[in-house]
Structure 1
Amino acid sequence: MRTFYDQLNRKIELKEIPQRIVSLVPSQTELLVDLGLREQVVGVTKFCVHPEDLRKEKRVVGGTKQVHLEKISALDPDIILCNKEENTEEMVAELERIAPVHVSDIKTIDDSLQLILQYGEIFGVAGKASEIAEKIRFEKELFQKEMDGVRERKVAYFIWKNPWMVAGKETFIDHLLKLNGFKNVFLEEDSRYPEVELSQLKHKEVDLVLLSTEPFPFKVKDIDLVKTEGRMDSVHVVDGEFFSWYGSRLLLAFHYFKNLQAILP
């Protein structure tokens, strides 16, 4: 019996290296493929959009908050992969009746690197996992050097509309905002994803408003609305995957951040 602990320090016991994986977190699904485990993935969510063609060849078992337990059970998985933020505690309890469940908990890049290395051990691809983790560390350090001396800008990062919601404290998004030299103006709110009014932006002396492309698909047309109602001059739509997806997506994130810094005021 092989024994592991997930990022909530929950004990997981596996008889052997899992050969049938159900992944209920899009960024973790992408990581599995980049670790060379595409064939072992048997079930994914409708939001697992990378690689683009993956959902055509795998069983879609629902979303991240609601899944079809009978579909997952029929897949006879060796392990099910979840995330503390993406999936509910009740869901995890139900899934544990089907197979061992690994739950990730990601607030920083270090947490993401830990997860990558955990997957390397669990799925027998430690070498590939170490390679990805080291490349992310390298890209992060290089970006941080390039950010030396860049002035801090006060930002609001919107993730939803009707109601308006922003990324707040203790989120992976806020961690990446800090790496970009941004000061999140909504860190004092109690919620990690607080509901706010656009009128608050002026009072907080926000320099930049960032509208994420996910989970709400903000478009260019939303820029004028925020500029008018929030009385803001600088509003930009940014790729939400690079600010919220962990795992191997981080291999591309710092190049994106570098280009973003070049066009922002």
Structure 2
Amino acid sequence: MIKTKAAMIFLCFIMMAGCGMQASSESAEPDSTNAHTIKDFADRSISFSNPPENIVALGNGDVDIIYALGEEVVGRPTASSLIKEAEQAAQVGSTHEINLERIAVLKPDVILAHRTMNEKDIPSLESLGAKVVLTEANSMADIKKQITLYGDMLHKENEAKNVINQLENSLGSVEKPEHKPRVLLVYGAPGTYMAALPNSLSGDILEHAGGENIAKDYPALEAFPQYAQINTERVVEANPDYVLLMTHGNEEEVKKGFMKEMEQNAAWNSIEAVKEGNIEVLPADLFGTNPGTKAAEAVAYLAGKLKVE
């Protein structure tokens, strides 16, 4: 966070000096003639004297985009990487649990973090001597915005445009089902299950894949506005063709737990998804996290799943 009082004193000092004194290198911003400034998803301005070289990413989607732009990371999430080339990078925890000690050893120029989950961590991360760039992806548009932002940060604007064009071409080639199957998207962890809304990334992927989100009118949770509580009566009324689960954790454990909860309410047995056995866990690498440029693969996978056999 900016120390407002200190900043005002510093500004007054510069004005009184008539710009004749030079601030110390520790407190001065990069030379405006050389600095390149970007604005992240939290509307924060971050300046770089040179394109960052040592990059730490706390999310798999960020890792994917950096490699798509022709660069690499020195630190990545502890969860398995979507990018084979990134597997040798040091594991630094995740957006939920950051390992500051491991990051410090890497001496990063920039740390790519999550806007909602990591804004509170900025002081700790900046204390390591790194810049912090916050983004998040709740839609395809957000992923494209991430690509543009990182391309700007790395001075790879043309590469970013090419990556976005490839993503859009891949999305345009997806064959959608002839009708819109009704789908309940469930984000789950053992004992906790929420319906994904259209303003979530998975909800947006479902829209691109040609499905209808039966939870589109559910009231959002205050703490997690991209998700809602699952209302059994409304689910039965909507009669979804598919119930699709997403998770960061053990897929089989999550499905087993959800099936157990369904068994406790016989009303679930009346919906089409249960009758047809269309209750599945989606691949975690594509749906349990932001897949970055591989979002087109997620759309294609889901579209294929929703096609009427």
Q: Where do 4+ consecutive residues of structure 1 move more than 6 Å? A: none
- Please tell me whether the aligned partners of residues 6 and 103 of structure 1 are also in contact (alpha carbons under 8 angstroms): yes
State the distance in 2 between where 1:92 and 1:25 align. Answer: 16
Q: Provide the aligned C-alpha RMSD in A.
A: 2.6
Matched, 1:152 2:185: no
State the distance in 2 between where 1:189 and 1:216 align. Answer: 26
Residue 224 of structure 1, CA deviation: 5.5
**CA 1:216 to 1:196, structure 2 compared with 1: closer, same or farther past 3 Å?**
farther
The structure number with the bigger radius of gyration is 2
Unaligned runs of 5+ in 2: 1-34
1:109 to 140, 147, 160: 140
State the distance in 1 between where 2:67 and 2:119 align. Answer: 26
Unaligned runs of 5+ in 1: none
Residue 70 of structure 1, CA deviation: 2.8
**CA 1:140 to 1:226, structure 2 compared with 1: closer, same or farther past 3 Å?**
farther
Residue 280 (structure 2) aligns with: 236
Which deviates more, 96-105 or 189-198?
A: 189-198
For residues 91-136 of structure 1, what are the alpha-carbon distances to aligned partners after superposition, in whole Å with 9 as ceiling and x for unaligned?
2342133321111132221221121122112113333222211011
**CA 1:258 to 1:170, structure 2 compared with 1: closer, same or farther past 3 Å?**
closer
* Letter matched to residue 167 of structure 1: A
1:177 to 187, 196, 206: 206
TM-score between both structures, scaled by the size of structure 1: 0.84
Matched, 1:2 2:36: yes
Count of residues paired in the alignment: 256
- Please tell me whether the aligned partners of residues 182 and 212 of structure 2 are also in contact (alpha carbons under 8 angstroms): yes
Please list, as runs of the form range in 1=range in 2, the aligned pairs for 1:55-204 lying within 5 A after superposition: 55=87, 57-85=88-116, 87-98=117-128, 99-143=130-174, 146-147=175-176, 150-160=178-188, 161-187=190-216, 188-191=218-221, 192-196=226-230, 201-204=235-238
State the distance in 1 between where 2:118 and 2:306 align. Answer: 35
State the distance in 2 between where 1:25 and 1:176 align. Answer: 18
Which deviates more, 198-207 or 68-77?
A: 198-207
- Please tell me whether the aligned partners of residues 209 and 300 of structure 2 are also in contact (alpha carbons under 8 angstroms): no
- Please tell me whether the aligned partners of residues 30 and 248 of structure 1 are also in contact (alpha carbons under 8 angstroms): yes
Residue 48 of structure 1, CA deviation: 4.7
TM-score between both structures, scaled by the size of structure 2: 0.73
* Letter matched to residue 245 of structure 1: N
State the distance in 2 between where 1:73 and 1:130 align. Answer: 33
Residue 21 of structure 1, CA deviation: 0.5
State the distance in 2 between where 1:47 and 1:131 align. Answer: 28
State the distance in 2 between where 1:224 and 1:111 align. Answer: 33
State the distance in 2 between where 1:197 and 1:109 align. Answer: 27
- Please tell me whether the aligned partners of residues 59 and 290 of structure 2 are also in contact (alpha carbons under 8 angstroms): no
Residue 54 (structure 1) aligns with: 86
Which deviates more, 217-226 or 87-96?
A: 217-226
